[in-house]
Structure 1
Amino acid sequence: MGIHVENQQVVIKSDVLLKGTLTLPSSKEDLLPAILILAGSGKLNRDANAEKGKFQFNIYKELAEHFSTIGFATLRYDKRGVGESEGNFEKTGLWDAVTDAANALEFMASHPNIDPRRLIVMGHSEGCIVGTALYAKRPFHGLVLLSGGGGGLRESLDLQRQHLYSELKHAKGLQGFIIRKFNTLDKSEKQAQATYRKLTASNKDVVRIAGLVKMPAKYFREHFDFDIVEGLQQIACPVLAINGSKDFQSSVEFAKRIPENVQGPSKCVVVENMDHGLKEQLTPLSPSTYKKDYIKRIGKPIHEEAIKHLDAWLTEWKEGSFQVAGEK
């Protein structure tokens, strides 16, 4: 017999109305510890699914239902302009996302079944940045960073391009010949830097690049301005960071900043053969074909090693085993 889980559809009042799912386990505790799940980048909804097409990952739904089995309530919501939430996705910046997360935390703190003194924020990918920035605005009691802790958006994008260039430099046949003959990788990098300059110099929410492609300038500008190390230095609660050895979208190197900068106790874990989407990946991931690889992993469970580390840390956190900065 599994634990009975109740999924409630909720409305969170932020600058816009956000729709979400509150998952409550049946528990003997009057007030439950709770986890707020912050999604990664792109138009993925509260479950980590795209509106149309093959990207139906369900990672956040799976995590929420798993955490209910160890006695945690969870809240996950559709970002602005995604799914059932109001707002304009293209005009949403980092600080809008932080405002929404702060309001979601307040929603949890005031819920009759949730203990306002036991709130964890769990970010995945870009959600790691939002969760890190959130602490200074609205403190909480534990931070979990999945696939992206310690890294900012610009350096993660730079890293992804370098992985791609490295792969293409070694391309064989006609593609390899063209790349080497015409220095196309140098041209691509110059183009990327020029795009960045246009985005950061603008004061508009959205700009057109080359008169054609609409890009969310406010989003990039605010992310590029945010100092992730300064954000980490504000954090005085226990922190867990989990990264995968097969994740080329973020770097284990960035996670090394966490123990160097946070005030609270921290633990950083690398799970062998885990990709950015928390799934087991036994073959090498290629920057040019990774989306196909991700689609192949749909329906597979979250990596069991990641779940083991999450369960162990959350249990320890719930038992109050961590010494927090400022406590005797």
Structure 2
Amino acid sequence: MARRALLAGAAALAATAARAQYYPRGIEERQVRFAGTGDVTLEGTLALPLLSEIQRVPGVVLVAGSGPTDRDGNNPLIPVRVDLLKEIAQALGHAGIASLRYDKRGIGGSAIQQRHSLDRQESYFTWGGLVGDVQEAHAELVRHDEIKPYATALLGHSEGGLLAIAASAAMGKRRPYGLVLASTPGRPLGDIVREQIARNMPALSAQAERIMAAIRATGRVPSDGPPAFRAIFPAYAGGFLQSAFAFDPATTLAPTDIPCLLLQGGADIQVVPLHDVQPLLDVLARRDAPGEALIAPMVSHNLKPVTGPDDPGFAGPLAPAIELKLVSWLGHLLGARSSP
């Protein structure tokens, strides 16, 4: 019996080695450039599981959050490396799912020349342009022969989730098959910003109301705002903010039939559970389309584990519960094959 067990073990090892030859593991990254909406060129990273060398694989477009957040999920206003989207790309790649993450217009490799006037920058940073760029990123993803064009999804983080909702609703029959909303509010962005300022800078709430009212009315950012608002209301972003403030994510998602996964950190202090997320949960419950949600305790806005109330949850690995749910849900939805 011992000898038979040894022989069986040897046969299993041989079979595993043989399968490894046909199902290569690991990830290859390619740098890509593609046309966005209008006169814009975007740069990104296509992460392909090595499995794609022998068979087509599903693919996901990763859409970064607000501000100068790059394709990897890093923001110069945050003093540590976050790498959220890079970590998501790696988790998906090891599960047999490709991804395209890209620098949004004006950021990183997709930067606008600083010499352009404010008017030129305002026409460049528009809501419609950014939503259109998500659609063009999806078109770039399926252009690659390694990708199954019928097994794709959009994943947006924070404000990127709003862009993903808007893009998927606008794409009609060309839309991806799935949608993942990570730390994404279900209420209009204007309401979220107002309450964030009230929580963190209560003395400036009246100023914020005045500035936001001007943006809604004119599409321009007043020049006399306090310095603390420069990152929240950039001078060039008036048109974008005017549209973003008016966009209702829950109302837009409600009539769609796209399968949707909602991922949320229970310790998120930017998009507050359940207050900011409840409208999306309500929509998922009402729709006929498949929908699931995970609110993971002790997890931050950037989907990282936190150790306590003073831990912002910027650095470190993706929270295990978030990674497991994301990979399993997308793998089932898109038919990913991560192992023989």
TM-score, normalised to structure 1, is 0.81
Alignment correspondent of 1:189: 205
Alignment correspondent of 2:31: 9
Instruction: Give a deviation string over 1:99-133, Cα, whole Å, max 9, x none.
Output: 10000011112211111111110011111100111
Kindly tell me: are residues 99 and 261 of structure 1, through their superposed partners in 2, closer, same or farther at Cα, counting changes over 3 Å? Answer: farther
Out of 237, 243, 247, which is 2:268 matched to? 247
- Mapping of 1:157-168 within 5 angstroms? 157-164=193-200
Note if contact 1:129-1:151 (Cα within 8 Å) is conserved in structure 2. no
Alignment correspondent of 1:44: 69
Kindly tell me: are residues 60 and 211 of structure 1, through their superposed partners in 2, closer, same or farther at Cα, counting changes over 3 Å? Answer: closer
2:118 counterpart of 1:85 = no
Kindly tell me: are residues 46 and 192 of structure 1, through their superposed partners in 2, closer, same or farther at Cα, counting changes over 3 Å? Answer: same
Instruction: Give a deviation string over 1:58-89, Cα, whole Å, max 9, x none.
Output: 11111101111111110000011100114479
2:324 counterpart of 1:308 = yes
Kindly tell me: are residues 65 and 218 of structure 1, through their superposed partners in 2, closer, same or farther at Cα, counting changes over 3 Å? Answer: same
Note if contact 1:146-1:241 (Cα within 8 Å) is conserved in structure 2. yes
Note if contact 2:194-2:209 (Cα within 8 Å) is conserved in structure 1. no
Letter in structure 1 aligned against 2:197? R
Kindly tell me: are residues 191 and 142 of structure 1, through their superposed partners in 2, closer, same or farther at Cα, counting changes over 3 Å? Answer: same
Return the alpha-carbon distance in structure 1 between the equivalents of residues 49 and 297 of structure 2. 31
- Mapping of 1:86-165 within 5 angstroms? 86-87=111-112, 91=122, 92-138=125-171, 139-164=175-200
2:265 counterpart of 1:232 = no
Kindly tell me: are residues 97 and 308 of structure 1, through their superposed partners in 2, closer, same or farther at Cα, counting changes over 3 Å? Answer: same
Alignment correspondent of 2:9: none
Alignment correspondent of 1:208: 223
| Stretch of structure 1 that moved more, 77-86 or 262-271 | 262-271
Instruction: Give a deviation string over 1:152-198, Cα, whole Å, max 9, x none.
Output: 31122133234337xxxxxxxxxxxxxxxxxxx4x532211111011
Equivalent position SS for 1:27: helix
Note if contact 1:150-1:258 (Cα within 8 Å) is conserved in structure 2. no
Return the alpha-carbon distance in structure 1 between the equivalents of residues 104 and 44 of structure 2. 9
Return the alpha-carbon distance in structure 2 between the equivalents of residues 21 and 121 of structure 1. 15
Letter in structure 1 aligned against 2:208? A
Note if contact 1:51-1:83 (Cα within 8 Å) is conserved in structure 2. no
Alignment correspondent of 2:42: 18
Gaps of 5+ in 1: 166-184, 321-328
Kindly tell me: are residues 116 and 261 of structure 1, through their superposed partners in 2, closer, same or farther at Cα, counting changes over 3 Å? Answer: same
Equivalent position SS for 1:282: coil
| Stretch of structure 1 that moved more, 267-276 or 307-316 | 307-316
Alignment correspondent of 1:32: 57
Bigger Rg, which one: 2
Kindly tell me: are residues 10 and 232 of structure 1, through their superposed partners in 2, closer, same or farther at Cα, counting changes over 3 Å? Answer: same
Return the alpha-carbon distance in structure 2 between the equivalents of residues 211 and 143 of structure 1. 37
Return the alpha-carbon distance in structure 1 between the equivalents of residues 219 and 273 of structure 2. 33
Note if contact 1:23-1:68 (Cα within 8 Å) is conserved in structure 2. yes
Alignment correspondent of 1:58: 83
Equivalent position SS for 2:164: helix
Instruction: Give a deviation string over 1:17-64, Cα, whole Å, max 9, x none.
Output: 000000111116522100100000010110112358724211111110
User: Percent of pairs identical after alignment?
Assistant: 26
Equivalent position SS for 2:33: strand
TM-score, normalised to structure 2, is 0.78
2:293 counterpart of 1:268 = yes
Shift of 1:225: 1.5
Shift of 1:234: 3.6
Q: CA RMSD in A?
A: 2.5
Kindly tell me: are residues 190 and 160 of structure 1, through their superposed partners in 2, closer, same or farther at Cα, counting changes over 3 Å? Answer: same
Equivalent position SS for 2:109: coil
Equivalent position SS for 1:208: coil
Instruction: Give a deviation string over 1:177-226, Cα, whole Å, max 9, x none.
Output: xxxxxxxx4x532211111011112244x542349755321121010121
